[in-house]
Each structure stands twice: as C-alpha cells, then as structure tokens.
Amino acid sequence: MTSMQGRRLFSRLAAAIALAGMLAFLATGLAAQCLRPELDWTRVPNSYYLIGPWGGMVRAGYDAMALALALLGASAYRTLSPAARSAAPLLLFVAGGIALAVTALAHTDTWSRPPTLHGYVHGVAAQAAFLCTTTAMLLQAWRLRGDARWRRWFRSAFAWAALCFVLLWVQAFWRALPRGLSQKVLILLILAWLLAAAWRLLRGPGRDEASP
C-alpha cells in the first residue's frame, strides 16, 4: 500500500467514524425530546437533557459528537491537497470537541437553583464548543478553494457555514428568542453542514469535481 493509499484509507475511515458519531448525537438528541415530555423543548436548552432521566444517554451522544468533530478535522486535513491544508480548522475542530466533552461532563445550572462553579464551567465550555466549531467550519470551507477536486463545494459550504456563524451571534445577543427553540435550530443547521462534510469526505470527490 502506497502512502497516498494509506492516507486515503485513514481519511475515509475517520470520516466514517465521524459520520457515525454525528448520527449517534442526532439520535440521542431526538430521543431525549420524546423521552422527556416534562421539559418544554422550546424553552429549555439542550443542557437540561444532560441531567435527570436519560441524561447518561444524552452524554454519550455528546461524547460521540466530540470524537466526531476531531475526526472530521483530521479527515479533511489529510484529504485536501498540501497547498489547501491548514492546521487551523483541525485545531479548532479538536478544541470544539474537547469543549463539547467538558460541556457534557459539567452539569448546567437550572433556573430553580443558585449559580455554581460547575454551571459556570458548563456555560463557558458550551459557548466555546459553538464558537470553535462554527469558526472551524468557516475556515475549512474557505480552504476548499485551494483544491481543484473540492472547489465546487466551496460556495455552498462557505455560505452555509457563514449562516451558522451569524446565527450563533444572533442567538447570543437576541435574548428575546425562545432559548430552547433557537438553540436547537442552530444545532440542526450546524449538524447538517457537518454531516454533509463527513459524507463527502467518506465518498470522495465525484468525477465532476476531479478537475477545476
């Protein structure tokens, strides 16, 4: 096996595991909405599903997603041509994954209890996970311009990543939005980009993408 074949095998294996982790995160998140009817999904953020009944299942989904982010970054880095590679998106995806794992580990504060240190850690980690991931998406999409095989995906990937980045800040500053609903919409939009990226990395560039 040549070094190029080994690189492609690693990239696709990493993308496959990343795709599985993202689907696990999506499945556990959707299941939690059905299994916790006492929580108003339009008002409570996802953090509330990490505590109480079925919290372990949701935490497992978060951990799967944390691993998926790191593997997606590694797969993209190994797949792109040397001229298009950048360590910045990879490091940001890894940082986002670590922040997401910390988010799952540290319990959030609830409205009925006073603030705590672990609640503060949870909040900072959650915001870091969002910010690192959306920034990584933007930078990774921008790097696609430098690889003739992936250039055709640049416009749609960058536009979608930019939308997620803007909506992240809209949610942060527009406090009148329903917290649960707005956060879940943002997560689904981010997840859609990540799933599309993982699928394309797993499938490889199509014939129509093989030339400039």
Which residue in 22, 70, 6, 15 sits closest to 201, CA to CA?
Answer: 15
Say what the pTM is. Answer: 0.92
Q: State the Cα angle at 93 between 95 and 26, rounded to 5°.
A: 105
Q: 133 φ, ψ to 5°? A: -70, -45
pLDDT of residue 4: 65
Rounded-to-integer distance, Cα 42 and Cα 128, Å: 23
pLDDT of residue 111: 67
Dihedral angle computed from the Cα positions of residues 170, 173, 176 and 181, in that order, rounded to the nearest 10 degrees = 50
Which residue in 79, 86, 68 sits closest to 138, CA to CA?
Answer: 86
The H-or-E segment that residue 149 falls in is none
What are the pLDDT tens digits along the chain (212 aa)? 566 666 778 889 999 999 999 999 999 999 999 999 999 989 998 999 999 899 999 999 999 999 999 999 999 999 999 989 999 999 999 999 999 999 999 988 876 778 888 889 999 999 999 999 999 999 999 999 999 999 999 999 999 999 999 999 999 889 888 889 999 999 999 999 999 999 999 998 754 444 32
CB 28 within 8 A of CB 60: yes
pLDDT of residue 94: 98
User: How crowded is residue 91: how many other Cβ atoms within 10 Å of its Cβ?
Assistant: 16
pLDDT of residue 119: 87
pLDDT of residue 208: 42
pLDDT of residue 3: 64
Residues with Cβ within 8 Å of residue 179, at least 6 apart in sequence: 43, 44, 45
Two tokens at 159? Answer: 């536009």
